[in-house]
Amino acid sequence: MARLNAMLKTTAVRLSLLYLLLFVVSATVLLFYVSAQSEKALRGQTERAIERDVRTINNTYRRSGVNGLVRQIERRSRQPGSSLYIIASPNGEIFAGNVSEIQPGIFDQDGDIDEPFKYKRFGDFDAEYTALAHVMQLPNGFKLLVGRDLAEPDRFNSLIERALMTALAIMGIGALAIWFFVGRSALKRIDRMSVASEKIMAGDLSQRLPVMGSGDEFDRMSTSLNTMLGRIEQLNEGLRQVSDNIAHDLKTPLTRLRNRAEATLASKATAKDYRAALEDMISESDQLIRIFSALLMISRVEAGSAAAKLSDLDLSAVALDAAELYEPVAEDVDVKLITDIDENITINGNRELIGQTLSNLIDNAIKYASDENNPRDDASIWVRLKEQDKMIVLSVSDNGPGIPDDKFDEVTKRFVRLDKSRNKPGTGLGLSLVDAVIRMHSGKLELSATNATQKEFPGLTVDLKFPVKT
């Protein structure tokens, strides 16, 4: 029962039933129309035959009078066939002819009798026949009836009806069968699609909807859904990687934090040791908070929540401020900070985000240009701001060890740090944040080597390209 119910719910069955109903209605109309037409045609034929008879008999009557007429009627009555002939007395008694009994009232009419009437024949009193006829009034009050039996055309008519009905029934059954199979195959494909999507919903994003290769609507739908699934899988993969990284990058400092607390508790520490341990733990927590804030910030920038807060921004001033803020820091580690900043360059931007981005980059540049263990005389970083090729380019360069060409794409990913030992302080989120901020400003982040010919210290140049304000 449930199965039947489910079956009735399927589109294929519903459509089939609807088609069947439409078919029955139109077939019925067709049947009625054809049988009415054929009946009309046959009736016309009968009427014309009667007319011919009437004309002949009329001629005879005119030529040979009543006697000739009666003779002819008697002669004709003896011939086999479907014709009816009656001569009746004025009071309706049958006088001559081949009919034994007739529906009363027929002789009261004159001319063509349009409605079929009933009569009985000699020698066959039980059977009732129907006929059409023409009634003529003879001058002496006698009446002449010339008619044709309708059995023949009726049989023919019902033959046509039956043939038509059979043909329609065969067509109906055939169509129903075809609909059923077509519907079922469509249904099966939809079933296969739902099976595949259920697997996908269950978490197997590598599943794809079946494509038969016929290029039909189902294939087109499956193909575009598959493309969408591919994109989702890709995003999901990215997300999974990020959460793996988050797990790793947060677990490490959390573990260190816990170990530090545990070790301090276990040891026979003095108050001074406790204080030192607690201070360490606070700075470890600060690092964790920093990672969280950076992640939060990236996701909020990427969600575009700050996008509405873009306004006219004097990028020259922002660049100068940032350079000035970091100048003493660079000097402290013997790195020259060289600025080449064009004045009065404005963009549509957010001061806080651009400021933070630039601080990030300058901070990184100083970090990589300097090397405590291996100080160099010419360690330098550059902060430049120019308008070129209809783009505003803000760039931060260093002449540190740089990064390999093939890693340029990778470093903007979250938590990617090329320094696998992670000796230098940092969250691994700096460039991801920069990337997110630049994209929010409809700009582009481009990485290149500062001086590619230099083998040992090619350096890294980060270009932030903003569209010129319109």
Task: Give the interface with other proteins as residue ranges (CB under 8 A).
Answer: 279, 282, 285, 289-290, 293, 296-297, 300, 305-306, 309, 321, 324-326, 328-329, 332, 350, 352-353, 355-356, 359, 363, 366, 425-426
Distance CA 434, CA 427 (A): 13
In the bound complex, what is the minimum distance in angstroms from residue 183's beta carbon to other proteins? 56
Q: Residue 167 or 289: which CB sits closer to other proteins?
A: 289
Distance CA 353, CA 412 (A): 17
Tell me the three state secondary structure of residue 460: strand
In the bound complex, what is the minimum distance in angstroms from residue 339's beta carbon to other proteins? 15
Distance CA 334, CA 350 (A): 32
Task: Please say whether the dihedral angle defined by the alpha carbons of residues 303, 305, 307 and 308, taken in this order, is positive or negative.
Answer: positive
Distance CA 383, CA 341 (A): 7
Q: Residue 89 or 299: which CB sits closer to other proteins?
A: 299
In the bound complex, what is the minimum distance in angstroms from residue 332's beta carbon to other proteins? 6
Quick one: tokens of 453?
Answer: 């010919």
Q: Residue 295 or 464: which CB sits closer to other proteins?
A: 295
Q: Are 427 and 358 in contact (CB under 8 A)?
A: no
Task: Please say whether the dihedral angle defined by the alpha carbons of residues 229, 233, 234 and 235, taken in this order, is positive or negative.
Answer: positive
Distance CA 320, CA 345 (A): 12
Distance CA 329, CA 322 (A): 11
Contacts 24+ apart (CB under 8 A), 168-172: 168/27, 168/30, 168/31, 171/23, 171/27, 172/20, 172/23, 172/24, 172/27
Q: Residue 288 or 416: which CB sits closer to other proteins?
A: 288
Q: Residue 13 or 429: which CB sits closer to other proteins?
A: 429
Q: Residue 213 or 425: which CB sits closer to other proteins?
A: 425
Q: Are 316 and 345 in contact (CB under 8 A)?
A: yes
Q: Residue 128 or 279: which CB sits closer to other proteins?
A: 279
Q: Residue 282 or 468: which CB sits closer to other proteins?
A: 282
Strands 380-388 and 336-341: parallel
Q: Residue 196 or 315: which CB sits closer to other proteins?
A: 315
In the bound complex, what is the minimum distance in angstroms from residue 352's beta carbon to other proteins? 4
Q: Residue 35 or 359: which CB sits closer to other proteins?
A: 359
Q: Are 312 and 306 in contact (CB under 8 A)?
A: no
Give the CA distances from residue 111 to residues 40, 47, 276, in Å, rounded to whole numbers and listed in that order: 19, 12, 133
In the bound complex, what is the minimum distance in angstroms from residue 306's beta carbon to other proteins? 6
In the bound complex, what is the minimum distance in angstroms from residue 355's beta carbon to other proteins? 6
Q: Residue 200 or 433: which CB sits closer to other proteins?
A: 433
In the bound complex, what is the minimum distance in angstroms from residue 438's beta carbon to other proteins? 16
In the bound complex, what is the minimum distance in angstroms from residue 302's beta carbon to other proteins? 13
At 400, which amino acid appears? G
In the bound complex, what is the minimum distance in angstroms from residue 356's beta carbon to other proteins? 5
Distance CA 250, CA 247 (A): 5
Q: Are 426 and 415 in contact (CB under 8 A)?
A: no
Q: Are 386 and 399 in contact (CB under 8 A)?
A: no
Cα 44 from chain centroid (whole Å) = 59
Q: What are phi and psi of 120, to 5 degrees?
A: -125, 150
In the bound complex, what is the minimum distance in angstroms from residue 378's beta carbon to other proteins? 22
Tell me the three state secondary structure of residue 312: strand
In the bound complex, what is the minimum distance in angstroms from residue 468's beta carbon to other proteins? 24
Quick one: tokens of 300?
Answer: 């909020």
